[in-house]
Amino acid sequence: MGDSDHGTWTETMSGRERVREVVDMLNEPTPVQEIADQAEVSRATADDELQRLERDDWVIETTVDGTKAYDANPVRMLFDEVTTLIEEHTRDELEVQLTELKEEQEALAAEFDASSLEEFREQLSEEKLSASELRERRNVIATWEAVNTELALVKHALHLYGDVVELSSPKNNRYSSLA
């Protein structure tokens, strides 16, 4: 949080809430002390909340340079992203997204005469490219990876769409037909 947010941050949120906010922003394993510093809490408070979050499968414990650290649980993140897609889009909208992403993937493959990202990467090592061409190719790789990730998420969302909608239904308060 920036200095201008300091008052709001510490006045409106408990220390544990601030730890959870920092965890939500993690994009790599982060040492406990760094999380505590970012959340403006003691190391003990951060460690206690992080252990609770680990028990609830929100984070996983790891180490960074021999120091206890935590990272967001990738399985939980996947399910959260898929659920968000389902909540924010109809099945038809997801099918349109799937088509658009597949078209983008096919356009990249055609433009660079590669049937897959792996084949495109192999071309990098085989061709003699200038530094600017290599930079351009790295940007294409990043784009291709993003398209592949989004494509996988949309496919998962479509696959689970009916189950998530059914389980989220108010009429389904107690029992699931999946049980």
Edge-to-edge strand ranges of the sheet holding 59-64: 30-31, 67-72, 59-64
CA 148 to chain centroid: 13
For the entire predicted model, the pTM comes to: 0.70
Structure tokens that stand for 79 in this block:
């399910």
DSSP 3-57: GGGHHHHHHHS-HHHHHHHHHHT--S-EEHHHHHHHHTS-HHHHHHHHHHHHHTT
For 101-128, write each residue's pLDDT tens digit.
Answer: 999 999 999 998 899 999 998 888 877 8
Output the pLDDT for position 173.
54
Structure tokens that stand for 162 in this block:
């009916």
For 52-96, write each residue's pLDDT tens digit.
Answer: 999 999 999 999 999 999 999 999 989 999 999 999 999 999 999
Mean pLDDT throughout 131-152? 92
